[in-house]
Chains A and B, each alone.
Chain A
Amino acid sequence: MKKLIFFALLFSAAALYVGPFLFSISISFNAKKNVFEWPIELIPSVATLENYASVWRDLPFAKWVLNSVIVTLIQTIANVFFSALAGFAFARLYFPAKNLIFALLLSSLMIPAIILLVPKFIILNEMHLVNTYAGLILPLLVTIPNIFLMKQFFETIPRDLEEAALIDGCSYFRIFWQIFLPISTPALAAVAIYTFQGSWNEFLWPVIATYTKDMYTLPVGMATLRDELQTNWPLLMAGTILVSLPTLMIFLIFQRYFVQGVASSGSKE
């Protein structure tokens, strides 16, 4: 009996969390443009792939995908590389003002993103980079949480490893490149996955940094569509499903990293 209640609770909770996605999938296959018929058809009587075709044919969707892919890929690669570099310097090297600079990084983490919007826009406007790829990409090439993650990981690597290399006359760059990076795949993967997901879903900055349709990333494009396509829900839902697929795939493949990452950020406090 107790088990029954437990599973009933579990299933209804899971239904609440997954239900909206299932319904959006169902709508995306609906052949009728007007899904607002009463009673609602939870499963479409006539199913079609037409809405998915229409997303690619009738919208600048391919261009938005391209923009999102460019921005996400560059930001992901750059974050992996830069946060590894900076993390190594903070974890393994001596330099003056190290603690001061690290404290600066730490405290700027507490600054809410909203405060940076106006100044970042003014800076990019002065550089004539608003509504360009550079404007979309540059501000998020390196992020402080990723530097922390790499620093913490590098600190767990035993000293002996680099000391042996130093005796052999290795430069620090070679130590970083040939010893530290190859054994850091789990941490690098975590940075890559988080950055990928964050970049792909990022909305606030692209909304501000772009103003023509051809420069929108997928989330911005979909958000503007929602105003224009009030009536064509099947098309809109097909688009949102397509937008969600890459992050969903990444999540399903690398689930372990997601869970570990959230878990470790939670227990750090």
Chain B
Amino acid sequence: MQFKSSNREQTFWAWVFLAAPMLLLTVFVFFPILFAFFVSFFDWNLLLPDKPFVGLANYIDVFQDPVFRKAFRNTVIYTLGVVPTQTLLALILAFLMNQKFPGRVLFRTAFYLPAITSSVVTSIIFVWIYSKPGLLNYLLSQIGITSNIDWLTNPNTVLVSIMMLNIWTTSGYFMISFLAGLQNIPISLYEAARIDGATTWQQFWKITVPMVRPVTYFVVVMSLIGCFQVFDQVFVMSSGGPDNASTTMSYYAYKNSFKYFRFGFGAAAAIILAMIIFGTTWLQKRYFPAET
């Protein structure tokens, strides 16, 4: 006997169930993706009535803009600085948290705290920390280093300062991913290594690091995507300044779109950024796959 309802009935209910979610996704995700490409070929300015077709002119203009080149350079430096540091830090924290000791949950919460807090809140706190009479300079003075830098208005330190904040906020988040990976490693591996006289340090590099390769892959991809798109912190802490020293590519796209209302140009910049993200993740998949 066949109890399954007919395919027609199932199809009917599927459309009933999917109608509202798919309508929303079409209007706010699927259509905008295509629309972004469309807009990028026009001189689409919110303040002007005419929207002439300009072909690839926006893309050419983006590449010729020295500010874009600076934003590109900043984004690359940012990503190269943040991704390896926060990945390693997250792994070390997870390794520490995977040991058995009292108060483990409390420590885990402590490391996770920055990740669940609003990026605006953490940015504001760090504006104070980085200001000239702020906490960072105070702590430096306590250990005998006299520093008179206003970290966020100095073009040499602003980008590094925002990078440090990002590492601080996301390393705890990725720690949880690693922790899950670590808990899948059979204890017997460590026991065997200990019998053979391996130190904790050797166990970490010879067992832990290779065994969590799939998680590492995931973490690196996610943090690459996050770093390429860093926006909130730049917006709150420096507005891309001074002299564009902290303008990243997403802030550049935002500024051209919503400060100068050059939507076509901004869309082109966003699409270039998306292409770079795709390219990077593809390269990683090709040359540094999750499994060997």
Which of A44-52, A55-63, A83-91, A181-189 contacts the other chain? Answer: A83-91
A 19-44 to B, binary, CB cutoff 8 A, 1 in contact else 0: 01101100100000001111110000
SS of B interface (majority): helix
Kindly list chain A residues whose C-beta atoms are within 8 Å of the C-beta of B48: none
User: Is A16 in contact with chain B by the CB < 8 A criterion?
Assistant: yes
B 170-189 to A, binary, CB cutoff 8 A, 1 in contact else 0: 00110011111100100000
**B17 touching A86 by the CB < 8 A rule?**
yes
Contact of B215 among A6, A83, A266 (CB under 8 A): A266
B 187-221 to A, binary, CB cutoff 8 A, 1 in contact else 0: 00000000000001000000000000011011101
Q: Chain A: which residue is nearest B237 at the CB level?
A: A226
User: Is B156 in contact with chain A by the CB < 8 A criterion?
Assistant: no
B 231-246 to A, binary, CB cutoff 8 A, 1 in contact else 0: 1100110000000000
- Range, interface on chain B: 35 or more
**B39 touching A171 by the CB < 8 A rule?**
no
User: Complex Cα distance A115/B218, Å?
Assistant: 22
**B290 touching A95 by the CB < 8 A rule?**
no
User: Is A158 in contact with chain B by the CB < 8 A criterion?
Assistant: no
User: Is A153 in contact with chain B by the CB < 8 A criterion?
Assistant: no
With known contacts A10-B96, A82-B20, A118–B257 Cβ distance under 8 A? yes
With known contacts A115-B270, A122-B35, A94–B217 Cβ distance under 8 A? no
Q: Chain A: which residue is nearest B252 at the CB level?
A: A114
With known contacts A40-B135, A114-B253, A89–B14 Cβ distance under 8 A? yes
User: Is B33 in contact with chain A by the CB < 8 A criterion?
Assistant: yes
Query: Which residues 247-278 in B have Cβ within 8 Å of A in the complex?
Result: 250, 253-254, 257-258, 263, 266-267, 270-271, 273-274, 277-278
The distance from the CB of A71 to the nearest CB of chain B, in whole angstroms, is 14
**A240 touching B121 by the CB < 8 A rule?**
yes
**A93 touching B17 by the CB < 8 A rule?**
yes
Q: Chain B: which residue is nearest A23 at the CB level?
A: B135
The distance from the CB of A49 to the nearest CB of chain B, in whole angstroms, is 20
User: Complex Cα distance A163/B119, Å?
Assistant: 47
User: Is A208 in contact with chain B by the CB < 8 A criterion?
Assistant: yes
User: Is A247 in contact with chain B by the CB < 8 A criterion?
Assistant: yes
Q: Chain A: which residue is nearest B249 at the CB level?
A: A114
Given A7-B101, A94-B11, A142-B20, 19 other A-B contacts at CB below 8 A?
A14-B111, A20-B168, A36-B133, A86-B18, A94-B7, A101-B22, A112-B273, A114-B253, A114-B274, A118-B270, A119-B36, A120-B32, A142-B24, A233-B128, A237-B128, A244-B121, A251-B116, A264-B180, A269-B217
**28 chain-A/chain-B pairs, Cβ below 8 angstroms:** A6-B99, A6-B101, A13-B111, A20-B135, A86-B21, A101-B22, A110-B278, A111-B33, A112-B225, A112-B228, A112-B270, A115-B33, A119-B33, A121-B257, A122-B44, A138-B27, A142-B24, A144-B25, A172-B9, A172-B10, A203-B118, A207-B235, A240-B121, A243-B118, A247-B118, A255-B105, A265-B177, A267-B181
Residues of A within 8 A of B (CB): 2, 6-7, 9-10, 13-14, 16-18, 20-21, 23-24, 27, 35-40, 82-83, 85-86, 88-89, 93-96, 98, 101, 104-105, 108, 110-123, 125, 138-142, 144, 147, 163, 166-167, 171-173, 176, 197, 200-201, 203-204, 207-208, 218-220, 222-223, 226, 233, 236-237, 240, 243-244, 247-248, 251-252, 255, 258-259, 262-269
